[in-house]
Amino acid sequence: MFEVIDRDGLGRLGLLETRHGPVRTPALMPVVNPNKVLIPPAEMAQRFGAEVVITNAYILYTSKEQKDVDLHDHLGFPGPIMTDSGAFQQHVYGDVDVSNREIVEYQARIGSDLVTMLDVFSEPEHSQTRAAADVDETLRRAAEAVGVKAANAEPGFALVGAVQGGIHPEERTRCAQELSNLDVDIAAIGGVVPLMESYRFQDLVKVIVASKQGLRPRLPVHLFGAGHPMVFALAALLGCDLFDSASYAKYARAGRMMFVDGTRHAAELEFANCECPVCTQISPGELKGNERALAEHNLYVSFAEIRRVRQAIKAGELWELVERRCRAHPALLDGLKELRRHAQWLERFEPVSRHNALFYTGPETVYRPILYRFRQRLQERYSPPRRRTLVMFPEDGKPYMVHYRPAMEKVEAVCNAHFLVKSAFGPVPIELDEMYPNSQSLVPEQLDLEVLEASEVFARHFLAGAGYEFGVLWEGAATLTELEKRREDPNPLDWVLQRVRATSDMQFGRGAADALLAGQVELVRSKNTGRVRNVIVDGRHVLSMRAHDGLFSLRVEGGKVLHRAFPKPTLRVVVETETAEFNRLGKNVFAKFVREADPELRPRDEVLVVDQEDRLAAVGQAVLNPEEMVDFDRGVAVRVREGLPAS
């Protein structure tokens, strides 16, 4: 019922199918109080673009006048409706007068599309022992709710299971793992409203990360109570797909206006500072005390932010949006800084490149997963040319090799050296300067002290095992004088060929260059830029270099070479043997037919599509990461570039 259409890391543009129509994610569900409808749900759809709303089934259940209703007729909303079970009332009042089974059966009876179990709300102050007991009871109730769903021959509804566990990561992950083994359709991360109300965003990040680490990738994730637009981007970055908001009405009653950078009292505004339809038609003075107008403003701002998040995912700019949003409040910045502790996990979902530049927004940029990956692969996959001397250039014009070519020629006239750029993001071997995100990043000339210190640490870590006998920082003529003392017979490297070799190893794994370039190598270069476009070996087209990211597109002849060179499971996506025939014809790989995949693959990696007998069927580009490919039963897993007809 859930398909990923596009993604930026854990952020997903998805399609959630329900019996009352599809919902595009990330999606915002305005909360509709069935006893006090401030803005009719039909108007929410028409004016604000709401595709789904949420109401409280417990309130309906305890109302004699409204108990036996047809939910869609009662709310006047033709689209999907989610219902809450009363868990939040349990948090507020301490208990509710209904059982889990009763409220699940009731939601099914009134026609809810997304039915929520009655979980046990773990408060942030609960000890781990108490949180563990809450998790045990929540999981028991989840199994009971699954039983209710199974008892309906054609249930029609999707079951929302809850992830609880307080602020204890171990309990969150355990709950998520065990919930994923049950037949639930959506996972809701609950018990987080107190964290958001007290601006404990660092704890919120820990809770979401721990929950996501235990959940199956195929499950859409709802973050309960995350109704303020200032958190949408951060939560989406961590893989949350659905949000609900009662805040638009709650804040309006208190005379408060929601913005992406915080909340302001309408009574304190002297000048209009918003472009929404409400604020362009009503003066700040007229807004004061106008609950309906304030609620509309809050909805306009909230839905606009959801659309920005969607566009950021589509454009590959979600990290930039999150970093800018989190600089609006110190507590959000703490949440952002928490992400660097989880870089290794986040990297598994991070695409290998994007079509847009990487923008530096502050010191936090240095710790993005894509930069963490580059530094890790330098250690694990890259082999420097055999040179005893290293010359380190400071970061300057890009591409680095073009900018520093005159200096390189002067050095190579007196010494056989390798060249490295000491960039803000870490060391960059000169032959990898065009590889994403090195040439495709924008960094200010004046760097923060924290970044300078981090750059030094990254460089020292790389150099510790690089094997150079002598290294020097480039300082022009003084450096040449120093290198004269180490004069040796010049043996300059073919830096274009070195670029091909280094990129091959970084992209496909150490040893890939030796395999791919074994033979007579012809490099086809652009007449305009001189950059490599195609790699021909012994007359066979093995690789094409992409202009936008400096990485290779794998051709089928190159796929044959890598298939022979690397044993299973390296670079492989294994599909059912019967369906491999379609991939041989150039058809895309769908996730439902994937049986296993190399755990080292990442979204947009070049892959080998093989059948269950490890026969090469096609080459292409991954859309999902390995665990997603295996878990999803809908959507494209690999976009096939070339098929290999059966011989």
Catalytic residue list: 84
The CA distance from 594 to 602, in Å, is: 15
The CA distance from 412 to 70, in Å, is: 81
Please say whether the beta carbons of 621 and 641 come within 8 A. Answer: yes
Strands 158-163 and 186-189: parallel
Task: Tell which residue, 454, 472, 562, has the closest CA to residue 516.
Answer: 562
- Amino acid in the structure at residue 608: L
Geometric angle at alpha carbon 322, from 319 and 326, rounded to 5°: 140
The CA distance from 523 to 518, in Å, is: 14
| Secondary structure, 3-state, 134-192 | HHHHHHHHHHHHHHHHHHCCCCCCEEEEEECCCCCHHHHHHHHHHHHCCCCCEEEECCC
The CA distance from 123 to 178, in Å, is: 20
Instruction: Give the three-class secondary structure for 511.
Output: coil
List Cα–Cα distances, 374 to 236, 360, 426, 430, 437, in angstroms: 24, 16, 9, 14, 9
The residue count of the chain comes to 647
Please say whether the beta carbons of 241 and 221 come within 8 A. Answer: yes
List Cα–Cα distances, 400 to 271, 300, 347, 423, 531, in angstroms: 48, 45, 26, 10, 13
The CA distance from 302 to 48, in Å, is: 9
DSSP per residue over 548-595, as a string? TTS-EEEPHHHHHHHHHHS-TTTTEEEE-HHHHHHHHTTPPEEGGGEE
Q: What share of the chain is helix, strand, coil (3-state, %, to 5)?
A: 40, 20, 35
Residues 6+ apart with CB under 8 A from 485: none
Please say whether the beta carbons of 536 and 542 come within 8 A. Answer: yes
